[in-house]
Chain A
């Protein structure tokens, strides 16, 4: 007797809790640090083993642009530096 079990796949990027993530280009990166007058390590971090990083293919050293859905501003842009996870 064969019984069917079903498995479903989905894109985690589309989950309600996951905001839009984007790897930004080198020029954008330069512009960003100029505008904010900071160094990369002053940004919040995101691990390269983070499911979202894997999903968008972000590598350590790159900057991820995050467009958050905010309750106060509707949309808020944030940046995170991709770092190697230490475990």
Chain B
């Protein structure tokens, strides 16, 4: 509303400026300017937004500052961010195609707060703990137990002490070879995976690689998984309405020209006639102009719309070219997102409609209106790393590896998988475990040589004149020294006659 009125006001102003450049009018304009001062600011914002990408970057950069310097900045911009307006829409007209691009800022989801009783218990526990550390999951468990059984309340201090002692007893000792433990813990159950594993199992007709091949894929950090797949969740309005869900699915699924139209080649006149099927067009919500626009993008041809058909003529008559164009037309993308081959919509309990897709393209799918960008995921770990960052990729590795293992009925402790994920993501990019990734970047020459391609590594090291610090396991075994692990890692041992304090 406000925008419209300002637009009108501006228009009026302009007209007046043009028509009556009289001094008397100037006063009126002045008054109007004062009135429309506030909305004018919005106008400014509007113009800024015309480059949505730039604006996004700016906002993203501004965000952390806003958080910190909340007191300082309370101008018009942060105010707007405080309540993300759902229908923040703006129109950027693209000249040629007459397509209006609207940008919607999706409001983040709210996380429910915990009750006052729990909060009070939490602060109390922290008071008792003082400097000692307990993981929040344990504290949560204590709170849950006590909230259900009020008799335990007086024993709170004792409970916490005991939990704390038990927790610190079970921590990994310093210099323990946790990597080897991890490798064995994943490797041993992995041997049992081989039997059924080369089959595919599907979530609703979509085939997904499972078992050992998938586990190898995750650990190898492949750029494209062999069966990319996405779980596309929908926003509130869309997930409960089947029509809206279908609409979103139509926008995502790739539609090629030969699935919606008959393509006929007229060899005598050297003309190709594209006859779209009117029914499917309606189903998929495509207009013929869209197809024509896409067809025109092919080089060296001209397309004209004639009633319900599109007539494609060549710039230069050539028999071979005609057949080539015919082939490209068949494969022409009319609608949808590259890489998404097939889509299945399913109704899930407690969720509504969820879209599963064969093929994956996270960047593009998240931009489709109606998709819930805060929950949609893909099994393409590299894509997750690209779009959502290294920490998200770490989470995805853990999730995927755990799912593949538990799907086979193997219980590997999550901590082992977490260690693997940590190693893969330590340097900020996703590295494979093995010759091409982690092992390649080991510092020690002997350790690298012990792993694979021994001669080449030794040769290279000799050429570069590398030194080996003998810090790792493999090196020390090769030279016959105690390994720098466990008890071997300690040079000076203190007597623990003093009562060992917790923490």
Do A and B share a complex?
yes
Using a CB–CB cutoff of 8 Å, the interface residues on chain A facing chain B are 1-19, 21, 23, 44-47, 50-57, 66, 68, 70-76, 80, 83, 85
B374's partner among A10, A53, A76 (CB-CB below 8 A) is: A10
Does B426 sit at the interface, judged by CB under 8 A?
yes
Majority SS at the chain A contact face: mixed
Is B389 a contact of A51 with CB atoms below 8 Å?
yes
In the complex, A2→B392 CA distance in Å?
Answer: 39
The segment out of B186-194, B203-211, B364-372, B444-452 that lies at the interface is B364-372
Min Cβ gap B168→A in Å is 14
Which residues on B are within 8 Å of A, measured CB to CB?
Answer: 52, 56-57, 60-61, 63-65, 98-106, 108-109, 135-138, 140, 287, 289-290, 366-369, 371, 373-375, 377, 384, 386-392, 395-396, 398, 414-415, 418, 422, 425-429
Q: Are A4 and B388 in contact (CB under 8 A)?
A: no
Point out the residue from A3, A13, A52 that lies within 8 Å of B287, measured CB to CB: A3
CA gap between A33 and B102 in the complex, in Å: 47
Q: With A3-B290, A9-B56, A71-B414 known to touch, is A23 a contact of B428 (CB < 8 Å)?
A: no
**A74 lies within 8 A of B137 (CB):** yes
Which of A6, A53, A75, A83 touches B102 (beta carbons < 8 Å)?
Answer: A6
Q: Which residues of B contact A76 (CB under 8 A)?
A: 135
CB distance from A5 to the nearest CB of B (A): 5
* Nearest B residue (CB) for A69: B395
B429 and A47 within 8 A (CB): yes
The answer to whether A6 touches B369 (Cβ under 8 A) is yes
Cβ contact within 8 Å between B387 and A51: yes
Q: With contacts A9-B103, A10-B366, A19-B395 known, what are 12 further pairs, Cβ within 8 A?
A: A2-B98, A5-B101, A11-B60, A16-B375, A17-B388, A17-B391, A46-B389, A51-B389, A52-B392, A54-B61, A56-B60, A72-B418
Chain B residue nearest to A82 (CB atoms) is: B428
Which of A3, A4, A72 meets B135, CB within 8 Å? A72
| Complex Cα spacing A5 to B98, Å | 10
Chain A residue nearest to B396 (CB atoms) is A17
The closest CB in chain A to the CB of B375 belongs to A16
B102, A72: Cβ atoms under 8 Å? no
Q: What residues on A are CB-neighbors of B427 within 8 Å?
A: 44-45
